[in-house]
Amino acid sequence: MTDAVRLTAVRKVYGRRDNEVVALDGVTTRFGRGTFTAIMGPSGSGKSTLLQCAAGLDQPTSGSVLLEDHELSEMDETELTALRRERIGFVFQSFNLLPVLTVRQNVTLPLRLAGRRPAAGRVSAALDQVGLGTRGHHRPSELSGGQQQRVAIARALITDPAVIFADEPTGALDTRTARDILALLQRSAQDAGQTIVMVTHDPVAASYADRVLFLADGRLAGELRAPTAESVAERMTRLGAFTDERPLSRAGTNREGQR
């Protein structure tokens, strides 16, 4: 099959009866191999939940997730862990770097956990790719937010995963660094055939993708192919994610609220 990931009727409900939150309400979609998809939607619309369910980090309440022909709901935790290590790279919204490890150690961790030795030069190349070639021996606390974010990206790329899930990977980056990272993700899809699924609030970031999926209240609310920053912004405005009166402050609030 040509799909890297396929979600069918994925539903995720948090909490119990009285304070139930339906984070995903029946999402069906597919991510073709070698494609780059952006996921957008208002804060709380279920983007992170979608990514975590698709990556086997969280279990849907119902529905099916097929990752390279593996039905995730049929796998036990050991099998899921192995699949995540071998096939998936994940960039967390909150970076999730280990503070006691250096940058290099953080980046090589997925390889070491998988019992693989990093090939000579591979770690330095990964750090160079994200512009952190000279910071390998620093600890995360000695880096800026954007630099930490780039370590998290290098860590997700180091195993050459088939599928890379990235939750706002450019949220902490300046415009120019963000552009470099987005181009890197784009090349990973186009040249290396990796499948990229990226959550973003930024229409310019989304325009690097081949396709944008819009989420609202846990449901798919449309999609755009060959997106431009303008067409994405227009769609987001209609979803109520950006208001006409306060387009920047509203988006800014979302971002601040996440850190």
Ligand X SMILES: Nc1ncnc2c1ncn2[C@@H]1O[C@H](COP(=O)(O)OP(=O)(O)OP(=O)(O)O)[C@@H](O)[C@H]1O
**x/- string (CB under 6 A) for ligand X, residues 227-256?**
---------------------------x--
Strands (E), 186-236: 195-199, 211-216, 219-225
Q: Which C-beta is closer to ligand X: that of 39 or that of 182?
A: 39
Q: Which residue has the tokens 């961790």?
A: 109
CB of 182 to Mg ion, least distance (A): 18
216: Cβ–Cβ under 8 A, 6 or more apart, which residues?
A: 41, 42, 45, 239, 240
Q: Which stretch binds ligand X (CB under 6 A): 38-46, 61-69, 141-149, 219-227?
A: 38-46
Find the binder of Mg ion among 48, 147, 200, 207 (CB under 5 A).
48
Of 178, 201, 160, 214, nearest to 29 by C-alpha is 214
Scanning residues 66 to 125, which ones bind ligand X (CB under 6 A)?
none
User: How many C-beta atoms lie closer than 10 Å to residue 47's C-beta?
Assistant: 26
Q: Is the dihedral of CA 259, 94, 76, 30 positive or negative?
A: positive
Q: Give the whole-angstrom CA distance, residue 134 versus residue 123.
A: 12
149 contact, one of ligand X, Mg ion, none, CB 5-8 Å limit per kind = none
Does 15 bind ligand X (CB under 6 A)? Our answer is yes
Q: Which stretch binds Mg ion (CB under 5 A): 17-25, 42-50, 175-183, 224-232?
A: 42-50
Tokens of 119: 């090939």
Q: Which stretch binds Mg ion (CB under 5 A): 22-30, 45-53, 68-76, 219-227?
A: 45-53
15 contact, one of ligand X, Mg ion, none, CB 5-8 Å limit per kind = ligand X
Q: Give the whole-angstrom CA distance, residue 176 versus residue 259.
A: 21
Find the binder of ligand X among 4, 5, 23, 152 (CB under 6 A).
23
Q: 70 has which bridge partners?
A: 67
Residues at the interface with ligand X (CB under 6 A): 14-15, 21, 23, 41, 43-49, 254, 258
Residues at the interface with Mg ion (CB under 5 A): 48
